Amino acid sequence: MDFNKNSNSKTMKAVVVTDQAAGIAGMKLADRPIPKAAINDVIVQVHASGFVPTELEWPSTWANRTGLNRAPSIPGHELAGVVTALGYGTTGLSVGQRVFGLADWYRDGTLAEYVAIEARNLAPLPGDVDFTVGASLPISGLTAWQGLFQHGRLRAGQSILVHGAAGAVGSMVTQLAREAGAYVIGTGRAADRQKVIGFGAHEFVDLENDVLEDAGGVDLVFDVIGGDVQKRSAGMVKAGGTLVSVVGPVEVRPADGLAVDFVVEADRAQLGEIVQRVRDGRLQVNIGITASLDDALAALNPNGRRKGKSIIRVRQ
Ligand SMILES: NC(=O)c1ccc[n+]([C@@H]2O[C@H](COP(=O)([O-])OP(=O)(O)OC[C@H]3O[C@@H](n4cnc5c(N)ncnc54)[C@H](OP(=O)(O)O)[C@@H]3O)[C@@H](O)[C@H]2O)c1
């Protein structure tokens, strides 16, 4: 069905945010117009959407690329779903195709029944991979892949310190680094020890009770925590090594190594590598809560700790 034809008269259900100060508690369910496909876009009927808890702190949730206010905006930047329409000039994907991928930070996101998204941000989702699984992979999988292999240049035989290794990004980093032949030291809270070892870490450092520096020097630090943990980690990078941060600019650089901070980018080929590893059992997903769109507001405002990626099943 081509929803572009009558989109003025059609609305969809979506989670929207209008109040930056209110954070996740300010999310509301609302009716929004079904988006239209721009040049090289597709419209995807969202089956499952991933949510990163820090999204509502990102400037791109609130302002467009020219700095103008864009609220009310729809959060959610990961999706798995089915293509329902193609924009002008769009190639490489077809109507009816199962896809998954990473939505543009500055456009309305995926906590909605439909999303307009550039085709290049998406990859085919194999028929044997569930939509919930597909939606859990784009941000955490691509961040791990790019941080390890592009920015961190990890090679077999090297050692890596993975902070927050029980979390959405850290669990992917741990598994991919282990598969690549690295010696993996995962960190986290005391309760995360078994989970991190289960993802393949050789050692675990309990950041609440152990002395981080006792883990010794490493070739690569992959940081998702920042602050004091990151500053202390800089001193653990061996000569020629790298500190990779996904939580903003590095404040203390390794004495004789590189420091890189980056924001993940969409990459169809890398998404293909990641989903293939899930299919053949080399990569476990790390899904915390799943809930319907109607239950999204309560589910995304948990009382306790989040454990892994939060997924909203938009279409049951
Ligand atoms: N630059 C990028 O492209 C990019 C991409 C993806 C994510 N990110 C950022 O990376 C961060 C992590 O994302 P995520 O989705 O992996 O989050 P997550 O699933 O919450 O994982 C973070 C993990 O680190 C743990 N942790 C945090 N602070 C800790 C501390 N002081 N001591 C011990 N453990 C600690 C968390 O435990 P608790 O839950 O108990 O705190 C959790 O297990 C977020 O800030 C996110 O915005 C950036």
Question: What CATH number corresponds to the domain at position 171?
Answer: 3.40.50.720
pLDDT of residue 5: 42
Cα separations (Å) of 79 from 154, 158, 256, 262, 274?
28, 33, 40, 21, 15
Q: Using CA positions, which residue lies closest to atom 2 of ligand 1?
A: 263
pLDDT of residue 53: 87
Helix (H) or strand (E) holding 70: none
Q: Please spell the DSSP secondary structure of 200-253, one letter per residue.
A: T-SEEEETTTS-GGGG--EEEEEESS-HHHHHHHHTTEEEEEEEEESSSS-SS-
Can you tell me the distance from the alpha carbon of 285 to that of 140, in angstroms, rounded to the nearest whole number? 10
pTM for the model: 0.96
Residue 155 corresponds to which amino acid? R
Q: Using CA positions, which residue lies closest to atom 43 of ligand 1?
A: 167
Same domain for 152 and 117: no
pLDDT of residue 1: 42
- Domain hosting 162: range is 139-261
At a CB cut-off of 8 Å and minimum separation 6, what does 305 contact? none
Q: Strands 309-313 and 41-51, how do they pair? A: antiparallel
Q: How far is the CA of 9 from the centre of ligand 1 (A)?
A: 41
The domain total for the chain is 2
At a CB cut-off of 8 Å and minimum separation 6, what does 165 contact? 171, 173, 174, 186, 187, 188, 192, 196, 199, 201, 204
pLDDT in tens, 1-10: 444 444 445 9
Same domain for 69 and 24: yes
Same domain for 191 and 102: no
Q: What is the mean pLDDT of residues 253-271?
A: 98
Q: Residue 240 CB: number of other CB atoms within 10 A?
A: 10
CATH number of the domain that residue 46 is part of: 3.90.180.10
Residue 81 has pLDDT above 60, yes or no: yes
* Residue whose C-alpha is closest to residue 73's, from 121, 122, 30: 30
Residue 64 lies in a domain: yes
Q: How far is the CA of 247 from the centre of ligand 1 (A)?
A: 9
Can you tell me the distance from the alpha carbon of 152 to that of 71, in angstroms, rounded to the nearest whole number? 36
pLDDT of residue 309: 95
Same domain for 171 and 212: yes
Can you tell me the distance from the alpha carbon of 42 to that of 88, in angstroms, rounded to the nearest whole number? 9
Can you tell me the distance from the alpha carbon of 286 to that of 132, in angstroms, rounded to the nearest whole number? 11
Residue 54 lies in a domain: yes
pLDDT of residue 310: 95
Tokens of 85: 């329409």
Q: What is the mean pLDDT of residues 76-95?
A: 98
Q: What is the mean pLDDT of residues 44-48?
A: 98
Q: How far is the CA of 291 from the centre of ligand 1 (A)?
A: 21
Peptide bond into 72 cis (omega under 30): yes
Can you tell me the distance from the alpha carbon of 302 to that of 299, in angstroms, rounded to the nearest whole number? 6
Can you tell me the distance from the alpha carbon of 188 to that of 260, in angstroms, rounded to the nearest whole number? 22
Residue 311 has pLDDT above 90, yes or no: yes
Same domain for 69 and 164: no
Mutate to test the pocket of ligand 1, among 142, 224, 286 (most ligand atoms within 8 A of CB): 224
Q: How far is the CA of 48 from the centre of ligand 1 (A)?
A: 21
Same domain for 58 and 171: no
Residue 163 CA: nearest ligand 1 atom is: 24
Identify the residue whose tokens are 């070892």.
197
pLDDT in tens, 174-204: 999 999 999 999 999 999 999 999 999 999 9
Residue 264 CA: nearest ligand 1 atom is: 3
Can you tell me the distance from the alpha carbon of 271 to that of 154, in angstroms, rounded to the nearest whole number? 19
* Residue whose C-alpha is closest to residue 299's, from 111, 34, 105: 111
Same domain for 307 and 293: yes
Q: What is the mean pLDDT of residues 49-65?
A: 94
pLDDT band for position 59 (50/70/90)? Answer: very high
Same domain for 145 and 125: no
Q: Using CA positions, which residue lies closest to atom 45 of ligand 1?
A: 247
Residue 220 lies in a domain: yes
Same domain for 254 and 145: yes
Residue 49 lies in a domain: yes
Residue 263 CA: nearest ligand 1 atom is: 3
Residue 273 lies in a domain: no
Residue 57 CA: nearest ligand 1 atom is: 47
C-alpha torsion sign, points 111, 112, 116, 122: positive
Same domain for 157 and 131: no
Q: Strands 159-162 and 183-188, how do they pair? A: parallel
Same domain for 296 and 251: no
Residue 17 lies in a domain: yes
Residue 269 lies in a domain: no
Q: How far is the CA of 264 from the centre of ligand 1 (A)?
A: 14
pLDDT in tens, 142-174: 999 999 999 999 999 999 999 999 999 999 999
Q: How far is the CA of 224 from the centre of ligand 1 (A)?
A: 5
Residue 302 has pLDDT above 80, yes or no: no
Same domain for 216 and 96: no
In the chain the beta strands, taken as DSSP E runs, fall at: 11-16, 28-33, 41-51, 78-86, 98-102, 114-118, 122-124, 159-162, 183-188, 203-206, 218-223, 237-245, 258-261, 287-292, 309-313
Task: Tell me which residues have their CB closer than 6 angstroms to ligand 1.
Answer: 52, 54, 139-140, 143, 164, 166-170, 188-189, 207, 224-225, 229, 246-247, 263-264, 305-306
Residue 21 lies in a domain: yes
Q: What is the mean pLDDT of residues 233-247?
A: 98
* Residue whose C-alpha is closest to residue 153's, from 219, 99, 250: 219
